Amino acid sequence: MSPQSSAPTTELRIPEHVAIIMDGNGRWAKQRGLPRTDGHIRGQDALRATLRAAAEFGIRYLTVYAFSTENWSRPKEEVDALMSLLVSAIHSETPSLIEEGVRLEAIGNLSRLPEAAQQALRESIQATAACERITLIVALSYSSRDEILRATTQIAREVAEGRLSADSLTEETISAHLDTAAFPDPDLLIRTGGEERISNYLLWQAAYAELFFSSVYWPDFDREALREALEAYTARERRFGKTSEQIQLED
């Protein structure tokens, strides 16, 4: 994609922030008699295509669930392969991210990643820091419960040290201590692969997100699949606890 790509499609209501659970790589590969690693490699192509489409539609933030804390329990060979793919992908994609105006960010317990992956992330995040077209947030070694636990532990520490008052804690206090403090909450959460659960992903942040479950395996996800999710989002009425009549009056 290039900065001169087509403008957002006018008939769609475009969410500011879309979050995706990229599911189905392994099943995609199994259906084809291929190693699971091949599914993950094809998944990188799908991410590239989806990121391009998201930017062209006018989405400002795209958060993708790339590796959960639970994924550390997978076979060591698969985990090692995924970490190797991560490092090579960051190195190979960073020049394109810069050219296409994509700022890279990462959330999760990143200290658990191999040092090579941490270093590659740091370098890419720094190199893309000035990009403003779209922000790609990669959730690595991430789970929402772990994130909330780390946040509340930090809040408890600050209360114990007298930097916060327990009586003054609010929802905003918690949000400000989450990995996503610098980003808006997702408006639309998509899960691919046919499963209909959110698997410990952005539990706090997605409290009012619209959910869309796609039967498409992640390696086959593309612009049209994203458009289908955006069309469903456009048809939803987001009330945030209010009535339809209240929403119509506000409009």
What CATH number is given to the structural domain containing 91?
3.40.1180.10
At 239 the pLDDT is 61
pLDDT band for position 6 (cuts 50, 70, 90): very low
Q: Is the pLDDT of residue 225 over 70?
A: yes
- Is 6 inside any structural domain? no
- Is 116 inside any structural domain? yes
To the question of whether residue 132 is assigned a binding role by annotation, the answer is no
Q: Is the pLDDT of residue 70 over 80?
A: yes
- Is 5 inside any structural domain? no
Q: Active-site residue 179, yes or no?
A: no
Measured CA angle at 157 (ends 152, 161), to 5 deg:
145
Q: Active-site residue 23, yes or no?
A: yes
Is the Cβ–Cβ distance between 110 and 140 less than 8 Å?
Answer: yes
Structure tokens at 185: 């909450």
Could you identify the residue written with the tokens 């989450």?
178
Active-site choice (38, 71, 185, 200): 71
Active-site choice (23, 146, 179, 187): 23
Could you identify the residue written with the tokens 């593309």?
222
To the question of whether residue 191 is assigned a binding role by annotation, the answer is yes
Instruction: Report pLDDT digits (tens) over 192-204.
Output: 999 999 999 999 9
- Is 105 inside any structural domain? yes
Q: How far is CA 21 from CA 37, 197, 209, in A?
A: 18, 10, 13
To the question of whether residue 198 is assigned a binding role by annotation, the answer is yes
To the question of whether residue 210 is assigned a binding role by annotation, the answer is yes
* Residue range 146-164: mean pLDDT, rounded: 97
pTM for the whole thing?
Answer: 0.90
pLDDT band for position 237 (cuts 50, 70, 90): confident
- Is 144 inside any structural domain? yes
- Is 120 inside any structural domain? yes
Question: Which residue range is the domain that position 114 belongs to?
Answer: 17-250
Is the Cβ–Cβ distance between 62 and 48 less than 8 Å?
Answer: no
| Total of domains in the chain | 1
